[in-house]
Structure 1
Amino acid sequence: MIRKVITTALVCVLALGGIHAQDKFRQELSLGASFGTTFSKVSFAQTKVQQGMKMGYTGGLTIRWITEKNLGLQAEVNFVQQGWEEKFEEQPQYKYSRTINYIELPILTHIYFGSKRFRVFVNLGPKVGYAFGEKTDENLNGATPNTENTQHGMPLEKKFDWGLCGGPGFELRTGIGSFLLEGRYYYALGDIFNSRKEDYFSKSSSQVISAKLTYMIPIFK
């Protein structure tokens, strides 16, 4: 009788162990590519510049490592356009915008919830970038329709950009890979112009809203 009880107990333990092994979390490394749209402006102080949101584009490569259940790390290398576009309410025939092209590197914490097929996630973390080019689009021809125009003649003075970014998204996991739709907000902690006491602007930091679609393929699980 005792032998039967011990045997039954061992069978139950082995069965539970097998079920636990089947449900055990497996790490996942994925690689993907993204493309999307940006809407940006620059926060100027001590003088206010009337602006709308400037539209640009972004795209790049993403690598994601799911290290444990509901948590992972994500790194990206992206091309991104940001800058500002001014508004001339009293003289709408005029236009002025500055596009700054960056290579950026976000390092993000990836938090997700959901099923094996559909997930909701949030990415949060720091970002650094380097400006490698800028372009101005304007038709002012020397006119000064706004009170503040000093920034028009100022080239980009700080090429390194850094700050914090994050936002929510949705992921659809299929047999051919994962499709992710994500919104993100970036707040720069650095400035695009010098901001010492003797400089014209005390602040000139970027703010960017972006939306992008990413396709990812798991490399291993």
Structure 2
Amino acid sequence: MKRRFYGSMAGILLTATLFSQETFKPELAVGASFGTTFSSVSFTPKVQQGMLMGYTAGVTARYNTEKNVGLQAELNYVQQGWKEQFDLNPEFTYSRTINYLELPVFTHIYFGGKNAKFYINLGPKIGYALNEKTESNLGDATPNTTNDQHDMPIDKKFDWGLCGGPGLEIRTGVGYFLLEGRYYYALGDMYNSKKADIFPKSSAQVLSVKLTYLLPLFK
């Protein structure tokens, strides 16, 4: 009886293992992305703003470790910052573009059929400011109640926060094509935020739309 029992258990485990191997195999894919960003900065005191448009591009590596779950890491060049609005003086313009090198790491959750999948990426992101550029026609004018930021380069080059969003993946014989929307909320400030400083809060917010191409290396 014991031999039959152990033999049956071994057969069940072997069948389950073979079935698991047939239904899912880990997959590694690498590729590149390009997209558009729309950013602003949450200032306290408030600064009246619109959305600053910029660009992002980078490389992506994704490893689907389990059915419906994987890990994704990226190394991107991204433009973000802020663009001010002057309701009483619409002829004035002011914008600050900050170029970052960023590293997001996501939990990749996906579902769907063989050729079309929906997914959600969620995770932390760190970044480092490479340089910044200002475009303005203000001269010596001070049209808003808060203007100190115009003459202040950012204090903190290190940026960190949380980001994520939904996407659609189409799989073809020449690779995978992904369209994704993403939102980033910085948990750190761009300017010093002690009691004696001007801005208690200066955290970035970024919306982005990205196209990504991935080439599977193995399944």
TM-score (norm 1): 0.91
Does 1:20 find its partner at 2:19? yes
**Structure 1 position 20, deviation (Å):** 2.7
- Give the whole-Å Cα distance in 1 for the aligned partners of 2:187 and 2:164: 14
How far has the Cα of 1:116 moved from its partner?
A: 1.0
1:6 is matched with: none
**Stretches of structure 2 lacking an aligned partner (at least 5 in a row):** 1-11
Where does residue 56 of structure 1 map in the other structure?
A: 54
Residue number in structure 1 paired with 2:109: 111
| Shift in CA distance, 92/26, structure 1 to aligned 2, threshold 3 Å | same
Work out the CA distance in 2 between the residues paired with 1:148 and 1:64.
44
Residue of structure 1 equivalent to 2:37: 38
Cα distance in structure 1, aligned partners of 2:20 and 2:179: 32
Q: Does 1:85 align with 2:120?
A: no
Alpha-carbon distance between aligned partners in 2 of 1:169 and 1:93, rounded to the nearest angstrom: 38
Q: Superposed, which structure 2 residues align to 1:125-140 within 5 Å? A: 125-140=123-138
Given the two structures, how large is their TM-score scaled by the length of structure 2?
0.91
How far is the alpha carbon of 1:142 from its aligned partner?
0.8
Give the residue type in structure 2 aligned to 1:218: P
Give the share of equivalent positions with the same residue, in percent.
66
- Name the residue aligned to 2:3: none
Question: 2:6: which partner in 1?
Answer: none
Summarize the Cα distance change of 1:166–1:17 in structure 2 as closer, same or farther, 3 Å threshold.
closer
Match of 1:174 among 172, 175, 196: 172
Counterparts in 2 of 1:93 and 1:219: CA distance versus 1, 3 Å? same
Q: Which residue of 1 aligns with 2:28?
A: 29
5+ unaligned residues in a row in structure 1: which ranges? 1-12
Secondary structure of 2:150's match? helix
Q: Give the match for residue 164 of structure 1.
A: 162
Matches of 1:50 and 1:18 in 2, distance apart? 60
Partners of 1:165 and 1:90 in 2: CA distance:
35
> Which structure 1 residue ranges, 4+ long, deviate > 3 Å from structure 2?
16-19
Cα RMSD, aligned residues only: 1.7
**Residue 143 of structure 2 aligns to a residue in which SS?**
coil
What is the CA distance between 1:156 and its match in structure 2? 1.0
Task: Quote the Cα distance in structure 2 between the aligned partners of 1:177 and 1:30.
Answer: 9
SS at the partner of 2:192? coil
The one-letter code matched in structure 1 to 2:140 is: G
